[in-house]
Structure 1
Amino acid sequence: MMGAMPRKPVARGAVLDAFESLLIEVGERAATLDAVAARAGVSKGGLLYHFPNKEALIGVLLDRLDEYAEADAQAMAAAAEGAAAYFIKSSVWADTPLDRAIVAATRLAEVAHEETRRRFAHIQQRWLDEIARDVGPGLAKAVLYMGDGLYFNAMLSIGPAASPAETAADVESLLAALVRLRG
């Protein structure tokens, strides 16, 4: 077979991005390997070369989530305004890679995917530890719930989506509450 060129490996990242997008848009059940391959523009064989099954794809997606969340926790720990204020300010939907990974993984948690739930618990504990270093363990959960409330309200966008000005006002209101909680 003279002149046959080896097939170029499919970009794993494109497959992973396609899986993440499908999870966000249509949920876990509809994010089939066939749908992922079609979205990524690769053959099913090309997809299977990198990810032998859906569980392998999920595992790499969760590793990506862990990586983004750890970078966020490190930024939180280093934030000049403190971890608690950083957490509240960053708890608005901004379509960041971390935001997308969280929503995609939420789709897996919805179908009781145990490894996803375990990873979320670990990430939440990591954030809670950083916030507790800043405001103490007594206030840490209150701050976590403030940020989570902002985030999930924005993510679900129940009713008309809040304007950027309304969202900024909500953030400022929570930061003012944080100052009062700190005493």
Structure 2
Amino acid sequence: MTTQQSTPDRILDALERVLLHQGPGAATLEAVAADAGVSKGGLLYHFPTKEAMLAAMVRRLGARSDAELDAAVAGGTTVAEFYLQALDDDSFSDKPLYQSAIAALRGLDGRHEDVQTAMTEVLRGWDAGLQKEFDDPVDAEIVRLAGDGILLAALLDLPAPDPRLHAQVVARLLGRE
């Protein structure tokens, strides 16, 4: 038995695809509705404005990241290890959470207060997890800044770091070398 995806989730998935593959300028209500297979009126029923749709995408990102982080920590991964994952070209498509994060970052333009607030809440949540994990707040901040750099590189489509060098960086940041 297959689970049918809700219409709001189909719309948010479509928004992410448009942002990832065509960029923020292409993320019109019409383009997202067409990609999701719904009418513009159907999209507006669930998300009355583009800002509401973008904010919902970011909030969904926060809920997904919380769930994935909880599962990773339950499996023995630290918050820092989770945050410092490499996003190489081969594994990026296998990491829907990071695709969602990149789409959300591409959707930010500084003009939509609700979207900016939602993204701030997500990032503060990630930061809080790092602050709890480290005794020294400076160490937590260094890890956060390195993780932010990983996301920024993916956002700008920069080449992925050498996997061995990335592993050495993570080992040094986590005091494992």
Cα pair 1:87 1:147 within 8 Å, conserved = yes
TM-score, normalization: structure 1?
Answer: 0.74
> Do structure 1's residue 80 and structure 2's residue 76 form an aligned pair?
yes
What does residue 160 of structure 2 align with? 162
* Stretches of 4+ aligned residues off by more than 4 angstroms: none
- Secondary structure of 1:104's counterpart equals helix
> Do structure 1's residue 103 and structure 2's residue 98 form an aligned pair?
no
Mapped partners of 1:157, 1:133: distance in 2: 31
What does residue 167 of structure 2 align with? 172
What does residue 32 of structure 2 align with? 36
> Do structure 1's residue 138 and structure 2's residue 138 form an aligned pair?
yes
The 5 A counterparts of 1:148-159 are 148-158=148-158
Unmatched 5+ stretches in structure 2: 1-5
Following superposition, the deviation at residue 57 of structure 1 comes to 1.8
Following superposition, the deviation at residue 56 of structure 1 comes to 3.0
Mapped partners of 1:162, 1:91: distance in 2: 8
Which of the pair has more CA radius of gyration? 1
Following superposition, the deviation at residue 102 of structure 1 comes to 1.3
Residue 66 of structure 1 is aligned with which of 62, 67, 71?
62
Mapped partners of 1:139, 1:79: distance in 2: 23
TM-score, normalization: structure 2?
Answer: 0.76
Cα pair 2:87 2:160 within 8 Å, conserved = no
Identity of aligned residues (%): 34
Following superposition, the deviation at residue 179 of structure 1 comes to 4.1
Unmatched 5+ stretches in structure 1: 1-9
Cα pair 2:58 2:104 within 8 Å, conserved = yes
Per the alignment, do residues 122 and 25 of structure 1 end up closer, same or farther by CA in structure 2, a change over 3 Å counting?
same
- Secondary structure of 1:35's counterpart equals helix
- Secondary structure of 1:110's counterpart equals coil
Bigger CA drift: 31-40 or 21-30?
A: 21-30
Cα pair 2:110 2:116 within 8 Å, conserved = no
What does residue 125 of structure 1 align with? 124
Per the alignment, do residues 120 and 50 of structure 1 end up closer, same or farther by CA in structure 2, a change over 3 Å counting?
closer
Per the alignment, do residues 140 and 51 of structure 1 end up closer, same or farther by CA in structure 2, a change over 3 Å counting?
same
What does residue 4 of structure 1 align with? none
Aligned-residue CA RMSD (Å)? 2.7
Deviation string, structure 1 residues 93-113 (Cα, Å, up to 9, x no partner):
523222122122212323433
Mapped partners of 1:43, 1:122: distance in 2: 31
Per the alignment, do residues 151 and 170 of structure 1 end up closer, same or farther by CA in structure 2, a change over 3 Å counting?
farther
> Do structure 1's residue 13 and structure 2's residue 9 form an aligned pair?
yes
- Secondary structure of 1:63's counterpart equals helix
